[in-house]
Amino acid sequence: MKLYRRHRIKKSLKHCYRIFLRKRKRLSQPAIAELTEAFETVQKDLEEDRLSDAKKSITHLESLTKTHFKKNFFDFITEGVVALVSALIIALVIRQMWFELYEIPTGSMRPTFMEQDKLTVSKTQFGINIPLSTGHFTFDPDLVQRGNIFVFTGKDMDMRDVDTMYFWIFPGKKQFIKRMIAKPGDSVYFYGGKIYTVDESGQDVSHFMQEKRLDKIEHIPFTQYAGKAITPAPPIKGVYSPVIIQQMNMPIAKLYIGPLKQIEGEILYNPTGVIKPPGEDYGDLFGYHNFAQTRLLTKKQAMEAAHTRRNELPDSTYYLEIFHNPSFKTAKIGRDYLGRTRPMLGISTSFLPLNENHLKTLFSELYTARFVVDKGYARRYGAPKAQNGNRDLYPYLPGIPDGTYEFYNGQAYQVYWQGITKRLPDSHPLAQFNEKRFFILYNIGMEFDNRFLPGHASQIVLPARYAYFRDHNLYLMGAKALDRDDPLLIDFIEHEYERQAASSGRTPYTAFDDYGPPLLPDGKLNTTFVQTYGIKVPAGHYMALGDNHAQSGDTREFGFVPQANIRGVPDIIFWPPGSRLGHPNQMPYPILVTPRLIVWAIALLVYAVWYHYHRKKYRFPLNLD
């Protein structure tokens, strides 16, 4: 206690002394003499260990300090502004160059990060950033690891709504968090929800993205087959032609009306320059033909969707409608979501009959976006509240209590304050299988927008529910939905090849089947195939994909991330409490790396200089001459 009292008195003494040094020029000589005598009295009492007298003398000194250095309004404003600006600049430099506390705003990285997760981000793992700009004072590309997570800024990238303000003062760009899929020069090919990669030297580096810890994370090479359609020429008789199709923000194909009024297609993307077979089609690129988009339909909906092929529908109560094999060969004139009449890719459609057991299997693997139920209307988390003007857009889920919910791996959760989740009991209506509600949650459980429902008048694009084969098993929502030995799946594949054999030259049909991974007969990666048909990452850029492909804006949309935009890596999830607390799902980064050591060394040097200066200037006893 005695030491504490002595420390408090010395601390107050030094505080008064700092004010005295800074403002003594304002004082008259008598006032300086009076304060100097008071300083000497406190010091003498402390040196002779008279704490009771020292307490009285420091009180007298504090009173003199307040009297002689009484602050006016200008002093308050000046000191407040200087303190605030200094703190903001220091905080900004620390956030940009050292570390930052980060809150996840969306579900694009589920299940690794959930909305409202709070984590620390290290800014020194790869290099030393230039504050409020892209680029680095130093950067080591060898420290970047495929399969791990990184943070980057959207500056100078093809993104919407990327501007932000730091501390409501400093203009900047929003930061994004994704998984690092591939490095400069890598060629990437997609099959079975997995990624196969060949690096710039021709080596198979697929293992980075196929580790066991990533088994629950699937990757899809597109959001929509048609990507972004660019029409460089004005319409002729109301029809836009040619059309440049962009995927991953790169022109990869062209559709146009030929001299005989036929629709023709051409692959523009050819990173290797190798002459490819004459039959190359759009679906061959990047592994597109290995994937499909799906919807669940009732028998009535399937009959309406099948149109002229109703007699081909196998008898069933439910169907999985499958859109697959985008092709130039069946391209047609149509109207896109922007209202443009133009050549459009042909998309094959199949109907897989399902029974109630299949639906319950799918329900046991259901995952959705986080959503809010308000008076029965369900909207995606972050979307505007249902009102008269937009209520028709939101699905209606009667019998579900108001609250925030989500599904993952078939488990229903309620979301509480600050993102804390709790699994719903089996008795909760949302956790129970209900055919009508399940159809809604499967078909628009990522969008929560009725315009994506089957049969909606304004439907143009398909919901983000994808299918693919792996080892001849059919996968939906990242889980095995139908086993290769399921009689329904066997009959479906057989019927697919019957349709393919019966199709004519004008309207060729390609069966939806397992075309296999890009492997050689000996099981090794076919590196030539991947380099020829995969997507190659440009020099100085990186491929970034979200773990939740169905809800992620990533390289598939805005293109590759320039090296200059990379800011850092996530370190620790510190909120909310639960099983994900701690290090995120990635291989540990090395701790002792050169950029981190440099920044820590600079920070320690600054502190040492400050401490030495402060201690020398305010060393006890104080220099009152």
Does residue 566 have a pLDDT over 90? yes
> Quick one: pLDDT at residue 4?
64
Helix (H, G, I), strand (E, B) or coil at 582: strand
Note whether 211 and 312 are within 8 A (CB). Answer: no
- d(CA 509, CA 507) in angstroms, rounded, equals 6
* Inter-residue long-range contacts of 137-141, CB under 8 Å, 24+ positions, other chains counted: 138/594, 138/595, 138/598, 139/563, 139/566, 139/595, 140/593, 140/594, 140/595, 141/183, 141/184, 141/563
- d(CA 115, CA 346) in angstroms, rounded, equals 37
The maximal CA–CA distance of the chain, rounded, in angstroms, is 110
Nearest Cα neighbor of 208 from 196, 200, 217, 219 is: 196
**pLDDT tens for residues 180-223?**
999 999 999 999 999 999 999 999 999 999 999 999 899 999 99
* Helix%, strand%, coil% for the chain, nearest 5: 35, 25, 40
> Quick one: pLDDT at residue 35?
84
- d(CA 419, CA 116) in angstroms, rounded, equals 5
> How does 424-436 read in b/e, with b if 16+ C-beta sit within 10 Å?
beeeeebbeebee
Helix (H, G, I), strand (E, B) or coil at 433: coil
Measured between alpha carbons, how far is residue 186 from residues 394, 527, 541 in Å? 42, 11, 10
**pLDDT tens for residues 498-513?**
999 988 777 789 999 9
pLDDT-wise least confident of 63-72, 580-589, 604-613: 63-72
When pLDDT is averaged across residues 529-546 and rounded to a whole number, the result is 96
> Quick one: pLDDT at residue 625?
62
What percent of the chain has a predicted confidence (pLDDT) above 70?
Answer: 97
3-class DSSP string for 25-70: HHCCHHHHHHHHHHHHHHHHHHHCCCHHHHHHHHHHHHHHHHHHCC
Residue 605: pLDDT band with limits 50, 70, 90: very high
> Quick one: pLDDT at residue 425?
96
CB atoms within 10 A of CB 297: 23
Bigger pLDDT: 308 or 35? 35
Measured between alpha carbons, how far is residue 400 from residues 57, 424, 428, 429 in Å? 70, 12, 8, 6
Note whether 405 and 414 are within 8 A (CB). Answer: yes
- d(CA 62, CA 41) in angstroms, rounded, equals 13
In the numeric block, which tokens belong to residue 550? 């169905």
> Quick one: pLDDT at residue 58?
85
**pLDDT tens for residues 461-494?**
789 999 999 999 999 999 999 999 999 999 999 9
- d(CA 98, CA 333) in angstroms, rounded, equals 54
pLDDT-wise least confident of 49-63, 144-158, 420-434: 49-63
- d(CA 209, CA 196) in angstroms, rounded, equals 8
The two beta strands, 466-470 and 473-476, are antiparallel
Cα-trace Rg, the chain: 32
**pLDDT tens for residues 81-93?**
877 887 788 888 8
- d(CA 604, CA 599) in angstroms, rounded, equals 9
> Quick one: pLDDT at residue 273?
81
Residue 1: pLDDT band with limits 50, 70, 90: low
* Inter-residue long-range contacts of 212-217, CB under 8 Å, 24+ positions, other chains counted: 213/585, 214/147, 214/585, 216/111, 216/409, 216/478, 217/111, 217/112, 217/179, 217/478, 217/547, 217/585
> Quick one: pLDDT at residue 456?
58
Residue 259: pLDDT band with limits 50, 70, 90: confident
Note whether 282 and 253 are within 8 A (CB). Answer: yes
Does residue 614 have a pLDDT over 70? yes
When pLDDT is averaged across residues 1-24 and rounded to a whole number, the result is 81
When pLDDT is averaged across residues 581-608 and rounded to a whole number, the result is 92
- Burial of residue 512 (CB within 10 Å: 0-12, 13-18, 19+) is buried
Question: Mean pLDDT score of the chain, rounded to an integer?
Answer: 90
Note whether 265 and 253 are within 8 A (CB). Answer: yes
> How does DSSP classify residue 204?
B
pTM: 0.89
pLDDT-wise least confident of 244-248, 338-342, 524-528: 338-342
Please state whether the peptide bond connecting residue 326 to the residue before it is cis, i.e. omega within 30 degrees of 0: no
